[in-house]
Chains A and B, each alone.
Chain A
Amino acid sequence: MNSSIGIIGHGITSQRAAAVLHTAGITPRITHVRNATELFDCKVVIMANGSPHALLVSSFVAQGVSVVSASDNLADVLALTDLDASAKNNNSVVVAGAACSPGMSGLLVRHMARAFESIDEVHTAVHGTGGPMCARQHHDSLGGISVGWHDGEWLQRPAGSGRELCWFPDPVGARDCYRFASPEPVLMQRMTPELHRITARVSATRRDRLTARLPMLRKPHAEGLEGALRVEVRGVRNGRRHVEIVGIVDRVATVAGVVAAHTAHALAHNNIAPGVHTLGELALPNADILDAVTNSGIELHQFVGTE
């Protein structure tokens, strides 16, 4: 087996991930999903195509190939987490949800947690979409069921409900955000079991919510031009309640591609315990990945003030 990195998908996220790897001196092998078996001899494969990923990931795992999945589909990510035993048996590492949200959000929570004695709440919100498949996922996720972690229980609520005005870094600013069918709470709870409350929201317009249960009315854009992520962590610092809010503003496909690429690079160059992981888990070199992500041009912004 060689140390090469492969990428499945020819979309924008794939292109951004490839560009990052090129900068690091790695030339990834990029292929379409129908030719995925060509990458069975790679050490790590980035799945940057549209979901579902689980079936193909299980094939890679059976070959002992490590996989970085950028899927943000709830059912797909749940299926990926079910591959844990298989990954351990085949000495393979799978990182589920290595994109913007989930993905970058996990890295930020792990980083922000260092400012606390203990953390108990994480609330994330994301604005914008990457490529066309991401836009379809955004559309579908507003028409499903959202999950949230609340005092030790999984709460299911209709996606598109629970409006909250969330402030993102400029120039995005304030956006109405709603619950959506995101794997973020599942992965976040897996990463930090001590959390009491986890919510994930996405910005949406009234038209997005009204048409969420219908087929998309028009073809999605080639790329969402504006994107942002906001992560709010609550906990205890110096014996008192404390809140930290960190956000980023960049194209969602860029964030997803950069995070996926640096995660794959970390998998190829580190000895990580086999199994299914999520970004932010202690088993992964999160600080190294976050450093690499910021060095690739993703700027972190901290909210200072009161909301």
Chain B
Amino acid sequence: MRFIRQVILAVSIAGMVAGVLRRRTKGVAATQQGGWQKVTPQR
């Protein structure tokens, strides 16, 4: 019983931390259209 309570507590804390992190970071998801080309620096 004690083990189950500890697991539930750990999962709850992890969920709360993940929730806080997700709320704090309002990231801007950029979409890429194009690609990378190798270039040689020209003088």
A161 near B24: Cβ-Cβ < 8 Å: yes
Residues of A near B40 (CB, < 8 A) are 294, 300
* Interface residues of chain B: helix, strand, loop or mixed (majority): mixed
Taking the complex as formed, is B19 at the interface, i.e. its CB lies under 8 A from any CB of chain A? no
Residues of B near A166 (CB, < 8 A) are 30
| Interface locus among A41-49, A168-176, A275-283 | A168-176
Also in contact, A167 and B32, with CB within 8 A (given A161-B25, A176-B27) = yes
Of B26, B29, B41, which is within 8 A of A300 by CB? B41
Taking the complex as formed, is B21 at the interface, i.e. its CB lies under 8 A from any CB of chain A? yes
Number of A-B contacts (CB under 8 A): 70
Query: Which of B18, B35, B36 lies at the interface centre, i.e. has the most chain A CB atoms within 10 A of its CB?
Result: B36
Interface size class of A (residues with CB under 8 A): 20 to 34
Taking the complex as formed, is A82 at the interface, i.e. its CB lies under 8 A from any CB of chain B? no
Residues of B near A291 (CB, < 8 A) are 41, 43
Q: In the complex, A247→B21 CA distance in Å?
A: 29
| Interface mask (A148-182 → B, CB under 8 Å = 1, otherwise 0) | 00000000000001111111011000101010000
Q: In the complex, A60→B35 CA distance in Å?
A: 45
Of A161, A164, A206, A305, which is within 8 A of B35 by CB? A305
Smallest CB–CB gap between A4 and chain B, Å?
A: 29
Also in contact, A303 and B36, with CB within 8 A (given A111-B41, A294-B41) = yes
B38 near A299: Cβ-Cβ < 8 Å: yes
Q: In the complex, A156→B4 CA distance in Å?
A: 43
Pick 20 A–B contacts, CB within 8 A, sort by A: A111-B41, A164-B27, A165-B27, A165-B28, A174-B32, A206-B21, A210-B21, A247-B36, A287-B41, A287-B43, A291-B41, A294-B41, A301-B37, A302-B36, A303-B37, A304-B36, A305-B32, A305-B34, A306-B32, A307-B31
